């Protein structure tokens, strides 16, 4: 096994030595010794404040980490991404989700061609279509205005627009409702269809190839549902279905008017695609102007990421702190804790964005890693999580770094709800940092219970405060995490933009699906899989 370059970098060795020196430092003591810790370890960017002071870091830690970034040629990697070089080397593709929200409209070249005219053309197509739906120019087969949008996709074609649309619920156009179907389990589709009126429902089929098994199975079920309600008149399909795809022939064969086919490009990875036509359900639900504000917020974070020195760069700092915990403290997971009900899908969205990007075991050169790559990403909205898994974070045996995210201003300022929510968010970060010592517990606790009530503290957190959750601030927040993931991939020396790990299961599923529908013996599988196939067939046939 070849040794990847990362572990040979001077900063890596210095960080290993530094870890031995600081691993027993307690955050409580650091705050006692450094009265200006918040001022030194917090940064504001537009509507966002990042407080990273409750991390197990010192000035020396940050100096060594930023040196590691420099030695990993992060600055050059950033330049290559923004200028359209093919940094997705296993698929020989550029990575240009940043071009999709390039609101300055400066040229972005790929193989000598500026991609911005094509991007702008799709944005204009989205705007025209969205406005036509909203003003009633485009209607269903019976002449009624659309009231419900159903997005049928999976992975990045579902999680991104679903998360954003949910997060921006206060901005929904009056009379418009969004629904998302991704699971091939028929219950997902039928629970959605059962509450809809076919005359006022618009379907978006989001599949680049228009062949994705789960998506197209759901799409054909929706198609038949519509036909069943309109006398099997094939001509109604063009009134109720649009496609986000590149497969013109398949879209046309489905019955969709190709004028209502929205393009995107192979340099847009699925989990980074909500900024493209994949975001059509967002635009239809919140309006195109708000969609553009989402793009603006992301673009502003792009400029910050590209132009700001590492020591003051929000995505870089969050990435480096994550590497500090993953590779030196051996933290296996990272928890995302949004204290906002509308952000309830953010942990799932970031789970895909991070784990599909950095869940890799080889370097770009194909060498096996001898260090850990991406952590497990998980989470749930507070305060629900406080009554579920915070016990483990506070008193379990693992160190689990946590990101707390909360808007300062609520869209629903009912009574004292938001003050209670904000107090809980801030209190948890303090409790995780300080803990409660045996001496403090013993003041009012029997000796037999002291050990049970001790909180070790020293649990690291980031806190992200957002003045108000708007399309613009949400765009900046998403881009912040996208770039964090990219930075970590660069330093680990892996390709964050392919996802070969999703392929094998799909291939085997195609084989097993045919065997489940057959009465001939199953093919060559291991004994367990063969036994499961046989058991299933006994109950299905």
| Active site members | 356, 387, 506
Beta-carbon contacts of 173 under 8 Å, excluding residues fewer than 6 positions away, are 134, 284, 285, 286, 287
Residue 89 contacts by C-beta under 8 Å, 6 or more apart in sequence?
364, 495
Cα–Cα distance measured from residue 68 to residue 444, given in angstroms and rounded to the nearest whole number: 47
Hey, CA dihedral for 481, 484, 489, 495, is it positive or negative? positive
Tell me the chain's radius of gyration from C-alpha atoms. Answer: 25
Give the C-alpha separation, 312 to 55, whole Å.
Answer: 16
- The rounded distance, in Å, linking the Cα atoms of 299 and 314 is 14
| Stretch (H or E) spanning 461 | strand 461-468
Q: What angle (nearest 5°) sits at the alpha carbon of residue 208, between those of residues 181 and 254?
A: 75
Closest to 322 in 3D by CA, of 201, 490, 444: 490
Distance CA 90, CA 460 (A): 35
Neighbours of 477 (CB within 10 A): 23
Residues linked to residue 362 through DSSP beta bridges, in sequence order: 368
Pairing status of strand 241-244 against strand 261-262: parallel
Q: 245 to each of 248, 254, 278, 285, 421, how far by Cα in Å?
A: 8, 12, 9, 20, 42
Cα 335–Cα 338–Cα 344 angle in degrees, nearest 5: 100
The answer to whether 190 touches 138, Cβ cutoff 8 Å, is no
């Amino acid at each position: 096994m070849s040794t990847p370059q990362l572990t040979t970098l001077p900063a890596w060795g210095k960080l290993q030595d530094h870890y031995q020196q600081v691993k027993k430092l307690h955050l409580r003591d650091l705050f006692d010794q450094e009265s200006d810790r918040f001022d030194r370890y917090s940064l504001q960017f537009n509507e966002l404040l990042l407080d990273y002071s409750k991390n197990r870091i010192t000035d020396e830690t940050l100096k060594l980490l930023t040196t590691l970034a420099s030695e990993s040629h992060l600055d050059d990697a950033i330049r290559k991404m923004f200028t359209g070089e093919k940094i997705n080397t296993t698929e020989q593709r550029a990575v240009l989700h940043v071009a999709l929200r390039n609101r300055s409209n400066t040229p972005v070249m790929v193989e000598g061609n500026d991609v911005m005219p094509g991007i702008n053309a799709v944005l204009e197509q989205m705007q025209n279509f969205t406005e036509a739906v909203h003003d009633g120019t485009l209607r269903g087969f019976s002449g009624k205005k659309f009231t419900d949008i159903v997005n049928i996709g999976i992975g990045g074609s579902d999680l991104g627009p679903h998360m954003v649309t949910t997060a921006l619920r206060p901005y929904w156009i009056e009379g418009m409702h969004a629904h998302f179907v991704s699971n091939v389990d028929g219950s997902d589709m039928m629970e959605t269809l059962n509450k809809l009126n076919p005359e006022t429902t618009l379907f978006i089929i989001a599949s680049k190839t228009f062949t994705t098994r789960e998506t197209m199975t759901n799409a054909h079920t929706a198609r038949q549902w519509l036909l069943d309600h309109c006398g099997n008149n094939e001509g109604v399909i063009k009134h109720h279905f649009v496609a986000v795809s590149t497969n013109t022939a398949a879209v046309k064969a489905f019955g969709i008017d190709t004028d209502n086919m929205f393009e995107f490009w192979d340099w847009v990875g699925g989990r980074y695609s909500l900024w493209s036509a994949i975001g059509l359900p967002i635009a239809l639900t919140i309006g195109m102007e708000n969609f553009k504000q989402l793009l603006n917020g992301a673009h502003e974070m792009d400029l910050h990421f590209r132009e700001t020195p590492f020591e003051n760069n929000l995505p870089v700092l969050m990435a480096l702190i994550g590497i500090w915990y993953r590779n030196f403290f051996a933290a296996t997971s990272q928890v995302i804790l949004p204290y906002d009900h509308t952000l309830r899908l953010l942990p799932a969205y970031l789970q895909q964005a991070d784990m599909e990007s950095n869940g890799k075991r080889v370097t770009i050169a194909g060498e096996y890693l001898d260090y850990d790559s991406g952590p497990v990403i998980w989470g749930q909205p507070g305060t629900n999580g406080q009554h579920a898994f915070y016990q483990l974070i506070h008193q379990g045996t693992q160190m689990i770094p946590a990101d707390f995210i909360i808007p300062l201003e609520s869209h629903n300022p009912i009574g004292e709800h938001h003050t209670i929510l904000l107090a809980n968010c801030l209190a948890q970060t303090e409790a995780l940092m300080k803990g409660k010592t045996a001496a403090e517990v013993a003041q009012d606790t029997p000796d037999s219970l002291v050990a049970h009530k001790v909180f070790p503290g020293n649990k690291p957190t980031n806190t992200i405060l957002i003045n108000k959750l708007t399309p613009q601030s949400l765009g900046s927040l998403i881009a912040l995490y996208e770039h964090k993931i990219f930075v970590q991939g660069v330093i680990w020396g892996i390709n964050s933009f392919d996802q070969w790990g999703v392929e094998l299961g799909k291939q085997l599923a195609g084989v097993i699906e045919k065997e489940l529908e057959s009465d001939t013996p199953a093919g060559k599988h291991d004994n367990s899989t063969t036994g499961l196939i046989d058991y299933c067939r006994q109950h299905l046939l």
